[in-house]
Structure 1
Amino acid sequence: MPVVSAQQLAALLPHTSHVRNICILAHVDHGKTTLSDALLSTNGIISTKIAGKARYLDSREDEQERGITMESSGISLYFKVLRSQGAGSAPDALKAHEYLINLIDSPGHVDFSSEVSTASRLCDGGFVLVDVVEGVCTQTITVLKQAWTESVRPILVLNKMDRLITELRMTPLEAYTHLCQILEQVNAVMATFLTGELLEADARRLEEAKLRLVESGQSDAPDATFDWTLQEMDDSHIYFSPELGNVIFSSAIHGWAFGIRHFARLYAAKLKVKESLLATTLWGDYYFDPKAKRIIPHKQLSGRNLKPMFVQFALDNIWTVYESAVIQPSPEKVEKIVQALGLKVLPRDLRTKDSQALVTTLMTQWLPLSTAVFLTAIDKLPNPRDAQAIRLPRLLHPFADPAPPPKDDLERAMYACDATPKSPIVVFVSKMLVVPTALLPENQRVQLTAEELRAIGRRKRQDATANPEDRTAADGSPLPATNLAASDANQCDNAAPLLDTVPTDDQVLIGFCRLYSGTLTPGQTLYVLSPKYDPQLPPESQPQFVDKVTVGKLYLPMGRDLLPVPQVYAGNVFAMGGLENKVWKSATLTSSLACPSLAQTSTISAPIVRAALEPAHLQDMKQLVEGLRLLNQSDPCVEVFIQESGEHILATAGELHLERCLTDLRGRFARIEIHVSPPIVPFRETVAYQLAGTGATAQDASAVPRGNLIPVHSRGVGIMPSSVVTVTTNNQLVELTLSSRPLPPLVTAFLLEHQVTIRHCLRRIAEKDGSASVAVGKGDLNSTGETLGHVSKHQLLDLKEFMAQLRALFAQDELDSKTSWGAVVDNIWAFGPKRTGPNLWVNNMPDYTPRPWSQPAVVPQSTGHGAETTATTVIQAMEAIQLKDSIERTTAPQPATAGDPSTPSLGRLAIRDLEESLLTGFQLSTLNGPLCAEPMVGLCFTVESCRLVRDPNAHPVDPTGGSSGAPSAYQVALATLPGQVISATREACRQSFLTWSPRLQLAMYHCEIQASADVLGRVYGVIAKRRGRVLSEEMKDGTSIFQIEAKIPVMESFGFADDIRKRTSGAASPQLVFSGYETLDVDPFWVPTTEEELEDLGEKADRENLAKRYVDQVRDRKGMFVEKKIVASAEKQRTLKK
């Protein structure tokens, strides 16, 4: 039973200065949950004997089985510390200070890094754990970056110090050198963050200076100069150093930790040195001269063999305890240590044969972990009021440097963490939690304390004594005195509602929140602002982003339980009910519509692994849809959408994340049997710098014979030499000629990196033109799930800067490859797919100037959560629009516009009338390539001509539609023309693509593995089996552990982690992070043609074509035609004897 009551925790909520919101961040298996267990044991939630083994905050069954955290969990802890009244007070005049510690344990696996994003936004400080043996790993850098981005003040915890003693058998001096190296690695990572931010800030100031000169008309002046200098900045506060108090040395599994100041207080009186001086010299190249009784630096060492003070006064003592208790057990030495340190250890604990339990008992009494961690959190981490004054300006004004002062009462209240009842209410909902209704506190038995039970018993006995005639049995006879206690006990037990009266099948959604301003009580009505809400626009113009909600029950999170509270004050982390059907994944709740949306967290992992789901029984489809809705709301990284085929697709961050989501669907949300397809991995389609079937380069395109091009089996399509394709619509009215060529790799990478910039420019210009319904692609080809609000500062460029950098890249390619791109940047018509992708649609018609790419066409925008605009929807919408326009033009003919060079006449038609059809065809073709209907990457399609094949004047239009009232043949041709132009454009782009040598781009994982020398060969074997390649192999200094970095295709990664663990007997475990796409340099249409190839491989190409296998797998999954040989070798068949 917890030693801290709910009333004690609730009483601390109003005291903002005594509240700390802390998260625990680290790489996987670096000890986060073990550290949490040690802190929980101080509040009596779990026993100190099972701390580190219970994994209390890992409440899921699969978390306990795998031994890793998959969901972030919060808990509120109580801590009391005795402090002196002041400098002039008596030494024994101590005052108790009570603190509320809101602790959040986050996952360390990269598949669940979205949980880290939600946890860091709620907290003001964090403990970053680093395994002293493994050192700085990939996810360590990631969580440090997340803390830097969210302005979370970190404390470094060098954990698993016991491994240096028991596993690596280092001496204290070797351990000290090793710890210094780890500290340098972490500080080097922090320095890169600061350098990047300073460079971005200075570059932004330079651009602002240029813009001011342009606006003043001085940009062309000969004396217009720009100063580009780095601003000096004090960076001492961002680094970790033990003397600053922001580094803790610990062993969470053995329950001990300490900071420099602990030993400074311990030795100050003995050495007769000031505690402040000792705290600054215990770490570093400082030595204690025993003869002179003074501290000397390294330069005064004069060749004497003295140990650094940290080794002499801290590490030597810890090593002595471990050597006496674990390495070379000696009961006599242990007893001396107990007496010297003044520890209270029971005799049975001293006689135990379990050395691990003995050292845990000794160290937890001497250097308790909870005391070191909590004191560091109180002294070095800010309270909510101080933290919000730093974090909120950067959150509300991310592009301002420096951040401006508060502009209104709302910002002043948020900056000051104002908890007065009159201040505006601002709540950030970080994520939604799905909780069974039966587990809510209001539906459970009320747990009474022993004192409350005794008070109820006394009151019952008093009532029975005062009215003995009322105490009768069922037959009317008085109850004997011996049955009074039993009757009272039964009545007490039946006072609370029984659990079986609560429906256990229902699920309820509650929000995991942080209150930035105001005081929140149940029953209040607040506005719900979605992430896309803009306070600068009138609320009535964006009703889809604003809603109202009534605040439900309020709770304090207690791990797997919830503690009800009557109200919550600003600066606290809590859970809130009543948000179902009001909040999707995250939102901002506020009492003022002038509040900006805070629900924009940066995501780390991308939902790259997908699977198609269907119920085992058709009648369970409704439960599957409802389960997917709950899963989508409760998981920040999950994406759920429906394909054109009607399949329900679940997109996750990785294989482990997919397994967890399927477990939740089957066991918690849908509770039905589900059939799951093999994992779906995205590909990209691109081309190599040579034409199909030849070794010719792009410069030799005109020399390619026509016979090498892939034939087209459709009417009206013909292909000219090189990559030029001529297409005629089925009604023989319009002929389109276009060509294609691959973009330079640097240009493709630039377009992929700045898709958000393109989308931002399109939206800004659409807003200026009043085109509120402009459809801009939601996703991008990186599959990052990133919206405009999730963009860092360096990713956004203005339109002029974007175009200038694009021109520079094309100019660089002209110098490097000796090819000419001409004015391709000025003639860009559109980007694709989704109008933001890395493919170009360029106009090269000399007599036509199209609409600029920055003015996209108006297309009906899809609605619904996670839905994608399908090709059928676009075609139907465009055909409907063009059909209406065509009929209007045929019934009311307009004069030809041959005199206007921008719109050359096509009889009664103009190219501008077909412009939207051409753009739609381009978007559809780049969204679904010809190989396996995957998006194209790195292609430039150029429209050479668009002309009328037949003279429309040969088919005069009858305005009345003829005597029968039916439209004429020419009217029907015009009405169907837009759809035919879309189809023809799409087919032309696909065929022009195939004239080049096509390639597949594979999604790749960056893999990091730590393994010892004895299993290194097995790790290499598994990587080679999975078609991966090793990038680097380094041995960590001071250890026998190798750090291996490799690249592995996502397609081949399923089961990779289990395979590694099996082959190495659990000695190695990989960490997979999505790293983008790489081109597989294999032509999927390759067959042996030369004499050497035919001689080596034969006509059937016995060597497997990997690209062809991938293409066939994707086409087969999508229901497309796949060329299969049912009988591979008919002459080799035989008839079995009966």
Structure 2
Amino acid sequence: MVVGGGDAPNKLPALLSNPQNIRNLCIMAHVDHGKTSLADALVASNGLINQRQAGRIRYMDSRKEEMERGITMKSSCVSLAYKRPEGEYIINLIDSPGHVDFSSEVSTAVRLCDGTIIVVDVIEGVCAQTKVVLQQAWAENIRPVLVLNKIDRLILDMKLSPIDCYYHIAQVLEQVNAYMGELYNTAVLAKESEVEEIRKQAERERKLSEIERKVSECEMPEAQRIFADWGINTVDDSDLYFLPELGNVVFASAYDGWGFSIHHFANLFSAKLGMNKAVLNKTLWGDYYITTKGGEKKIVSGARDKRKNPLFVTILENLYKVYDTIMVKKDKYETEKLAETLGVKIPMSIRKSTDMRLKLNCLCSGWLPLASAVLEMVVEHLPSAADMSEERATKLMCSATQRFDSLPPETQKLKKAFMKCSSDKNEPLIVYISKMFGVQRELLPVDKNTGIKVTHENVSQGLLSEKEIATRRDVLRRRKEATLVAVNTESGQERILTTEENEELTSQQEQIMKDKEEKVEEERKGMNEEVFVAFARVFSGTLRTGQKVYVLGPKHDPNTVLALTALNEQQIEEKLKDYKHIHICKISGIYLLLGREYELLECAAAGTVVGITGLEDTVIKSATLSSSLAMSPFTELTMSVNPILRVAVEPHDPRDLPKLRAGLKLLNQADPCVQIALQNNGEYVILTAGEVHLQRCIDDLQERYARVPVRTSDPIVPFRETIILPPTVDRLNEAIEGENINLRKMDKSDPLGVVEVNGRLGKLRCRAVPLPEAVTKLLEQNEELLKLVTLAGAIVTDKTNTHNAGSDMTDNILSKQEAGTKSEMSALAKAMENRQKLKTETFKAITDFKMSLDKAFKDAGVEWKNAVNEIWSFGPHRCGPNILLNRIKTYPRPSVWEKASLIDSPLAAYDTSFVTGFQMASVAGPLCEEPMMGVCFIIEDWSLAPANVSESGDSQLQSFGISSGQIISLSKDTLRKAFENQCQRLVCAMYSCVISVTSEVVGRMYSVIGKRQGRIVDGDITEGSTSWNITAYLPVIESMNFANELRKSTSGEAMPQLVFSHWEMLDIDPFWEPQTTEELMHWGEKSDSGNSARKYINAVRKRKGLAIDEKIVEFAEKQRTLSKNK
């Protein structure tokens, strides 16, 4: 039974000490699939809200914007109690957003959980965000269960028959399981490849005489040998899928408050029909029916072939009868009779009500309570806080690119603490903070038994609530009203004060009271400030109020501080002052999270999800807390959406700039996805995931954090710049030939666009060519791998055998000349030292990436032969989708893949400077200073000026020689000129737009998308309905206010979901100008009316303060009139 009523929250603190009876889970789904309504039903089971309000009050949505828009924008937690015969359980339930703009909130919730409830709308089926959350759950190794919601709409809206309803639900369930199968197959194949590589690596290491460790296949752990023989067809994946017969699926209507699993009706039918319960559990879902042949009831298969109703249809027929009686016929007498039959008591107030939906909710929630069905499934099928798998513990402690056995032994031992989940005082404290969120100080309770004096310091620390301050003010006022007019004389007798003495005493007391009231008022204002609470889970040990803990930053390396463990506490604190990745902090408060309310705790045991105060000065977004210096920081959260939409903000009043700066700092701390940047021109820029996310951030900045009115720029959308081969047709689709060839700034004598500079610094010859599309896509998809190649020195050489690349890794390093400065040299040395920690599969991934890149080059044509071994650098930031190729015959420097070697060439001293020039050129192209994409710069010749430069007349060059800055400038300018010599194009960021819309308004939706330069890529009608699921691509620059316009045009029938998809070239020449008479008539003299590329470029250049090809007044000396002469 469910623990309900007002007592449930009071029982929670006493139940937090047993991790076996704690379930940490989150609710995830596509937007508007019913997550918050389901959460309401579970919250109502504990008496926090009225049962009648469940599904309507949206208890977990406390923000004003959430209530106005009807969507969840933040993940919030509530602790619930659930009672079973064997004991009571704590359910830490986290409600997460479904809107794609707030996917980062889902990531913060998943990290703290061991399981998840996936909610799917049976009308819409598996949507885009449903797949995203399933992928997130898989990546974090948490177990899911399924709730198929909104079955009432199949009955009332779609008006399906019971048999059609069954097949529709079965189809939706099949969609979910099909996607789970995709995830599983991908993981199994990857694991097989990983184990095979481990075996090969072990064999290589065994053959190396200089390595003492000997590993052979027979020495592998038993589990690895078994898994090495795994295959998709041989692995048992029965526990992977959502199967009603297993009990991990609940059929529900959260709005009407009912839900059930197969096991519920198996118990019911077993008692009524006298059949075996275990048999019913397996046959109530599926192609089974009851036959009475031979006078005995039997359950047999083949219902569909024999045109019989499956057993599940019998359950649906009972539901149909309830809906038909109450919602269709609206028969009050039959409703009361039905309630009596089902054993449900309907209160008199509801019987008299004319709201039939209220009666339906009361009857169904009493007959098939949703909370009981879901919480029973959670307790039965989701792991407890103490049942963490070894694989998940390893993933939390060690990143995907690092071997676990490369961590210090002291750190590896902590994995047992993760899996043990013990609150014993001897166990190390391990806490993970997934995000920080702001709470008004007045909402946090305090310990009323502390007796702390009212001071501004105490108030600012959250020790007194606003109510308590108001009480103290009343006490002071009562003292003022009860002023004594008599005092003791020296003889001990009382006398009446004179009028002058009384006035003087009254004046003194009034001044004292005034001072006290002013002080209390200041303290009262302090109560309205935001307090940052850390959203955290205790994985091991016990966290106590007042305890000092180590706050570990994401770059903390246990190896650097293990030597400090031999010192005493005071010495450790002194030593850590010089170490920027560890801070010591004191816990000021621990709170049990109850949705909109908070309950103060003295301590938090292992397995609990709590809020922690006192960390706002040391934690920005996420952090690891521990009592052990050997603890490694938790791996980074997996974000499915990256911020791409930007705006510049400034205060209306320039004097409020310090407040804005402080508010931006708080906003950055409170939102896990937002990024704050300071531009070179002094502008503060906010980067967000989408338009809805942007609006929420601006509202938070003005109302909660900065508390000053701000002015925002137009949304700043990123672009990319690229080049293409000379086109063969113009905008009128006519062949370009003869004098019509208009290749801007291209040297007509050299169609290849070769740029040659021969000046006082030497000779440089290069050209820019577009990269093959497959190569650009590979570079874009493997950005993180390129960072490892460049920074960690994970070099691959395949001159002998690609499969032996792993053994060559230990010998291959980047050229030290590329380090440039001493700081870079130090960083590179550190990277080479840590390179040994990289996992075998990471080395293999780099090798595979190089092979894929080589294949893509070879497929592009003979001119790209051996290009993969000529790569000098990637850019921008040494990991971007642009390449610098070295084809200098006199400078055979090692490629980015090969091991370093000393090169006897004067160019070697300027190698880093040349690469820096390439990085600067690729990070800001000539069109509008946006990064380049898909460009290859081929350096064909480079030589320095001879040592005797007296003929040049440059005295500075004669005295000091060629400086690195001059080489950087030469490289940058020449590469930009090579870029300009080609046909330039703008590349736009594109949204993938998923829209669910009815057939009546599909045409209006098409016109809105077409007007904003979008295009439809897929469309399919939902079976059994008139709804269409449309997928379109839409430029991000055209997406502003798109959702509002679409809703207005379709009368609210269409709801888009926008998520960044890819980069797409805008195939319009931004510099094209009409030349022929026909072109002039069609496009006009300027040809700028329909040239969206030029419009975008001018807008970006204007925003950046760059020159644009526009004139305010073309003929300033000509007098003009604005009115027409009559």
TM-score tier, shorter chain, comes to: 0.7 to 0.9
Partner Cα distance (1:129, 1:444) in 2: 41
Is the partner of 1:835 in helix, strand or coil? Answer: coil
Q: Is residue 242 of structure 1 aligned with residue 285 of structure 2?
A: no
Identify if the C-alpha distance between structure 1 residues 775 and 1081 changes in structure 2 by more than 3 Å, giving closer, same or farther: farther
User: Aligned in 2, Cα 1:795/1:1113: closer, same or farther, shift over 3 Å?
Assistant: farther
2:64 paired residue number: 61
1:932 to 903, 925, 928: 928
Shift of residue 537 of structure 1? Answer: 4.8
- Structure 1 partner of 2:277: 275
Q: State the partner residue of 1:608.
A: 644
- What residue number does 1:357 align with? 358
Between 665-674 and 508-517, report the one with greater CA deviation: 508-517
Aligned to 1:462: none
Look up the equivalent residue of 2:252 and give its one-letter code. Answer: S
Of 1017, 1023, 1029, 2:1015 maps to: 1029
Match of 1:725 in 2: 755
Which letter does structure 2 place at the counterpart of 1:774? Answer: E
Gaps of 5+ in 2: 209-216, 218-224, 452-481, 488-516, 564-575, 795-809, 829-834
Tell me the C-alpha RMSD between the 2 structures: 3.7
Give 5+ residue unaligned stretches, structure 1: 84-96, 219-223, 448-471, 478-493, 713-717, 779-787, 858-899, 905-909, 958-966
**1:698-709 alignment, distance < 5 Å:** 708=743
1:698-722 Cα shifts (integer Å, max 9, x gaps): xx99x9999955189xxxxx99652
SS in 1 for 2:345: coil
Alpha-carbon distance in structure 2 between the residues aligned to 1:756 and 1:197: 20
1:353-409 deviation per Cα after TM superposition (whole angstroms, max 9, x unaligned): 211111011101101111111111111111111135563134335659999999854
The alpha carbon displacement at 1:626 in A equals 0.9
Residue 370 of structure 1: aligned partner: 371
Matched, 1:595 2:637: no
Asked whether the 8 Å contact 1:18–1:99 carries over to 2, the reply is yes
Instruction: Label 1:1085 to 1:298 Cα distance change in 2 as closer, same or farther (>3 A).
Output: same
Contact 2:1088 2:1094 in 1 (8 A): no
Q: Which amino acid aligns with 1:824?
A: A
Map of 1:88-99 to 2, 5 A cutoff? 97-99=87-89
Residue 996 of structure 1, CA deviation: 1.5
Q: Aligned AA for 1:806? A: L
Q: C-alpha separation between the residues in 2 aligned to 1:282 and 1:901?
A: 75
Q: 2:919 aligns with which of 906, 920, 923?
A: 923
CA distance in 1, matches of 2:778, 2:620: 33
Q: Report Cα offsets for 1:89-135 as digits up to 9, x if no partner.
A: xxxxxxxx222111100000000000000001111111111111111
Q: Which amino acid aligns with 2:40?
A: D
Query: Offset of 1:948 from its aligned partner?
Result: 3.8
Q: Distance in 2 between matches of 1:1021 and 1:299?
A: 49
- Report the counterpart of residue 489 of structure 1 in structure 2: none
Distance 2:397 2:1016 in 1: 43
Q: What corresponds to 1:660 in structure 2? A: 696
DSSP-derived class of the 2:52 partner: coil
1:581 aligns with 2:617: yes
Compute the displacement of 1:763 (Å).
Answer: 2.5
Q: State the Cα deviation string for residues 817-850 of structure 1 (Å, max 9, x = none).
A: xx41233222211111001111111111111133
Distance (whole Å) between structure 2 residues aligned to residue 674 and residue 740 of structure 1: 44
Superposition map of 1:1035-1114 within 5 A: 1035-1090=1021-1076, 1092-1094=1078-1080, 1096-1101=1082-1087, 1103-1114=1089-1100
Aligned to 1:513: 536
**3-state SS of paired residue (2:686):** strand
Instruction: Tell me, yes or no, if structure 1 residue 942 matches structure 2 residue 938.
Output: yes
1:516-665 aligned within 5 A: 516-538=539-561, 543-665=579-701
Rounded Cα–Cα distance in structure 2 between residues aligned with 1:852 and 1:704: 42
Matches for 1:378-417 after TM superposition, within 5 Å = 378-389=379-390, 391-396=392-397, 408-417=412-421
Q: What is the alpha-carbon distance in structure 2 between the residues aligned to residue 922 and residue 135 of structure 1? A: 49
- Cα offset for 1:517? 0.6
Superposed CA offset, 1:142-196 (max 9, x none): 1111111111111110111111111111111111000000000000010010011
Counterpart-to-counterpart distance in 2, 1:725 and 1:473: 94
In structure 2, the partner of 1:1116 is 1102
Tell me which residue corresponds to 2:514.
Answer: none
Distance 1:176 1:585, change over 3 A: same
Distance 2:740 2:326 in 1: 83
Give me the whole-angstrom Cα distance separating, in 1, the residues matched to 2:1122 and 2:670. Answer: 59
Q: Does 1:428 align with 2:432?
A: yes
Task: Give the aligned length.
Answer: 991
User: Structure 1 residues 980 and 709 mapped into 2: Cα distance closer, same or farther (>3 Å)?
Assistant: farther
Q: Is the 8 A contact 1:752 1:837 kept in 2?
A: yes
Counterpart position of 1:734: 762
- Taking a change above 3 Å as real, the CA distance of residues 694 and 43 of structure 1, as seen in their structure-2 partners, is closer
1:691-1090 aligned at under 5 Å gives the runs: 708=743, 710=745, 722-728=752-758, 732-765=760-793, 773-774=823-824, 797-814=844-861, 819-850=862-893, 852-853=895-896, 902-904=903-905, 910-949=906-945, 952=948, 954=950, 969-971=956-958, 974=961, 977-1090=963-1076
Amino acid at match of 1:237: D
> CA 1:844–1:77 in 2, change beyond 3 Å: closer, same or farther?
same
CA displacement at 1:20 relative to structure 2 = 1.1
Q: How has the CA–CA distance of structure 1 residues 614 and 1028 changed in structure 2, closer, same or farther, with 3 Å as cutoff? A: same
Task: Answer yes or no: is 1:44 the counterpart of 2:47.
Answer: yes
Deviation at 1:634, TM superposition (A): 1.2
Which amino acid in 2 is paired with 1:317? Answer: N
CA 1:948–1:400 in structure 2 vs 1: closer, same or farther (change >3 Å)?
A: closer
Q: Is the 8 A contact 1:528 1:549 kept in 2?
A: yes
Q: Deviations 1:979-1032 (Å, cap 9, x if unpaired)? A: 232222212111111222111111000011111111111111111111110111
SS at match of 2:634: coil
> Aligned pair in 2 of structure 1 residues 1034, 137: CA closer, same or farther (>3 Å)?
same
Which deviates further from its counterpart, 284-293 or 1074-1083?
Answer: 284-293
- On the 8 A contact 1:613/1:649 being kept in 2, the answer is yes
CA shift, 1:603, in A, is 0.3
CA distance 1:299–1:74, shift in 2 (3 Å):
closer
Q: 1:53 to 1:820 in 2, by over 3 A?
A: same
Say which SS state the counterpart of residue 992 (structure 2) adopts. Answer: strand
Q: Does 1:442 align with 2:446?
A: yes
AA matched with 2:791:
R
Q: Give the letter aligned to residue 28 of structure 1.
A: V
Q: Displacement, 1:956?
A: 12
**Paired residue type of 1:247:** V
Could you say if the C-alpha distance between residues 401 and 750 of structure 1 is closer, same or farther in structure 2, counting changes exceeding 3 Å? closer
Alpha-carbon distance in 2 for matches of 1:1102, 1:581: 52
Distance 1:473 1:290 in 2: 93
What does residue range 253-272 of structure 1 map to in structure 2 within 5 Å? 253-272=255-274
Distance in 1 (CA, whole Å) between partners of 2:412 and 2:1110 is 69
**TM-aligned CA deviation for residue 1057 of structure 1:** 0.7
Encode CA deviations 1:725-758: one digit per residue, 9 max, x unaligned.
12355xx232322112111110111111111111
- Residues 854 and 634 (structure 1 numbering): CA distance in 2 closer, same or farther, change over 3 Å? farther
Partner of 1:32: 35
Contact 1:757 1:796 in 2 (8 A): no
Partner amino acid, structure 2, of 1:582: T
Contact 1:848 / 1:901 at 8 angstroms: preserved in 2?
A: no
Question: Aligned to 1:690, what secondary structure does the other structure show?
Answer: coil
**Structure 2 Cα separation of the partners of residues 848 and 3 of structure 1:** 80
What SS does the corresponding residue of 1:127 show, helix, strand or coil? strand
Higher mean C-alpha deviation, range 933-942 or range 981-990: 981-990
* More displaced 10-residue stretch of structure 1: 115-124 or 201-210: 201-210
For the residue of structure 1 that corresponds to 2:767, the secondary structure is strand
- Please give the alpha-carbon distance, in whole angstroms, between the structure 2 residues aligned to 1:184 and 1:775: 55
Q: Secondary structure at the match of 2:71?
A: coil
Q: Using the alignment, how far apart are the partners of 1:107 and 1:301 within structure 2?
A: 39
Change (3 A) 1:520 1:707: closer
Q: Would you say the 8 A contact 1:429–1:511 is kept in 2?
A: yes
Say if 1:1044 and 1:692 are closer, same or farther in 2 by CA, change over 3 A: closer
